[in-house]
Amino acid sequence: MTTQVDFSSPRIAILGGGPGGYEAAMVAASLGAKVTIIERAGLGGSAVLTDVVPSKTLIATADLMTRVSEADELGVKFDDTASKPHADLKHINDRVLNLARGQSKDIRDGLERLGVEIVIGSGKLLDSNTIEVLTLEGTRTIEADSILLAVGAHPRELPTAKPDGERILNWAQIYNLDELPEELIVVGSGVTGAEFASAYNGLGSKVTLISSRDQVLPGEDTDAAKLLEGVFERRGVRVLSRSRANAVERTDDGVKVTLGDGSVVTGSHCLVCVGSIPNTAGIGLEEAGVALTESGHIKVDGVSRTTAPNIYAAGDCTGVFALASVAAMQGRIAIAHFMGDGVKPLKLNQVASNIFTSPEIASVGVSEADLASGKYQGDVVMLSLLSNARAKMRNTKDGFVKIIARKGSGTVIGGVVVGPNASELIFPISVAVTQKLHVDDVASAFTVYPSLTGSISEAARRLHVHM
């Protein structure tokens, strides 16, 4: 017997309150659905409470300290020339966590205003239409016409480097510190490791970054990675390339990290950033018919459907891109598809991302590695910010703009921006990629003079082909 869904007011249950969950809840409620969202920690999930919001707040403080330390070159003098800014880590982390809690409350208030029911507890699927929730008050069963899984992920741990929350830390625990680590060892040179290495270097820690690959940020734009390595070297970050951490142990007054070649690196603290594991175990996925990949992620298609009827999934638990923006988009797409609203499948070649190091590294669309592999044919122009008037005024020494256009047609298919506020500057290139704009469309739009966006326009002009 086929269950009839009342699409004038369908029941939607969302397991997980992170970006994939709460954004979907807002869309569903605005479309007239009866929405219940189940979250065990707090609205916003790890993105708001322990990951994105806290880390970027910390990074904002570190970035300010970096700019202050270079202020002398702009003619800014301090009365006490011997005085240098220092990081009050307890104050910083208190602000970080307060801001995260405030953002979580704002999300909850917004959901409640839309009529979304919020249930705090741990949920488990009983079938493709039912979630059992364990709350402080007891067990509750929630029936739904459709279910969205947005259960997120948690930090991956090495069996030989178990976090203790004091000296050996994962990225969710580091905000518990009251004093700045004197010597911080960061294991892992991916996005998370590079961001924390950059941030704590800016705050004043002596940082060692252990990378098992040839470059920091493996898989990212090679020019950007090389530039960041140069900045790290200039600012005193020690990068150990092609070095694998075999074990991390606590000592009497710090930590020691044993590398694959048997050598030992010592420091006061160690931050382990070696990826994440999806929160897909023990929540009834098999019973409901939801298939997983070998890595334990939920299999989804372009409109966020799983292999089970009525069940969708969004966010880090799907293994698509571990980005809050992608999670939110997946959640919105899922709701639109279920509700019969206008929907376009997720297009990964249009995803813009940013690495919040100093300088920031933003990218979108096709990469130069894609061109080198023969997957795409394109032309590339890269302009250093050293020639940009606004960059000179701000004493910006590190950065560039790169635009990739399809060979022959001149359509913008990718780009990279490295520099201050690259997360903001990538947007015009992202619009161009998404809307399939020609390089001449970008070049003919007015930019402010002086501005960093002027380099984006200039790069596009240099890709013009005379007909």
Instruction: For residue 428, give the 3-state DSSP assignment.
Output: helix
Mention every residue, 6+ apart, whose C-beta is less than 8 A from residue 286. none
* Alpha-carbon dihedral 232, 235, 237, 241, rounded to 10 degrees: 30
Q: Measured between alpha carbons, how far is 232 from 255 in angstroms, rounded to an integer?
A: 22
Rounded mean pLDDT of 208-227?
Answer: 96
DSSP string, 429-442: HHHHHHTT-BHHHH
| Rg of the chain on CA atoms, in Å | 24
Q: Is pLDDT at 364 greater than 80 in this prediction? A: yes
Rounded mean pLDDT of 46-68?
Answer: 93
**What does the pLDDT read at residue 8?**
65
Rounded mean pLDDT of 319-337?
Answer: 96
| pLDDT band, residue 467 (cuts 50/70/90) | very low
Side by side, which strands form the sheet with 255-259? 245-250, 255-259, 264-267
Helices (H) and strands (E) in the chain, counts: 14, 23
pLDDT in tens, 130-182: 999 999 999 999 999 999 999 999 999 999 999 999 999 999 999 999 999 99
Q: Is pLDDT at 5 greater than 70 in this prediction? A: no
pLDDT in tens, 277-314: 999 999 999 999 999 999 999 999 999 999 999 999 99
Q: What is the DSSP letter of 212?
A: S
* Alpha-carbon dihedral 423, 426, 431, 433, rounded to 10 degrees: -130
Q: Is pLDDT at 94 greater than 70 in this prediction? A: yes
Q: Beta partners for 402?
A: 382, 416
Instruction: For residue 39, give the 3-state DSSP assignment.
Output: strand
pTM over 0.85: yes
Q: Is pLDDT at 7 greater than 70 in this prediction? A: no
Q: What is the mean pLDDT of the chain?
A: 95
165-195: buried (b, 16+ CB within 10 Å) or exposed (e) per residue?
A: eebbbbbbbbbebeebbebbbbbbbbbbbbb
**What does the pLDDT read at residue 6?**
62
